[in-house]
Amino acid sequence: MQLKLNKYDIILTIIVSFIAIALFIYIFLSNDDSTQKSAKVFYENELVHTFDLSNTEQEFFEIEATNGLVRIEKKDGKVRVIDETSKNNICSIQGWSDSTINPIVCLPNHLYIKIESSADDEEVDVFIR
């Protein structure tokens, strides 16, 4: 059995393809990298250091955490945990992050790195009753 396309199928395919390409282009062009980003390092819910992710210089920070020394690296607008003292090295396995929705969390050391953007000035509080 051979499938035949009529003119409406072809028109629909062209329209759907055009919409998909337009959305793809919109998503990549609307990603504004000019916003000021910073990575904030928290130890036991207290801010201990802030990295400016807008400059691309390499920078290191060390902190004595719960299980021992934690080394953090900032490079090319991204941040990661290089080395830490924990059983499974969970923090360093997470790798690089520059996303505001992807924090680096190191629960064995009571440490987390939150990335904030200047475009995120308004926080949304949600109440469910």
Residue 1 has pLDDT above 80, yes or no: no
pTM exceeds 0.85, yes or no: no
CA dihedral 9, 15, 20, 21 (to 10 degrees): 120
Quick one: pLDDT at residue 71?
93
Q: Give me the mean pLDDT over the 30-43 stretch.
A: 77
The amino acid at residue 12 is L
pLDDT, one tens digit per residue, over 61-95 is: 999 988 889 999 999 889 999 988 888 888 888 89
Residue 46 has pLDDT above 60, yes or no: yes
Domains of the chain: 37-117 (2.60.320.10)
Quick one: pLDDT at residue 101?
80
Coil, helix or strand at residue 90: helix
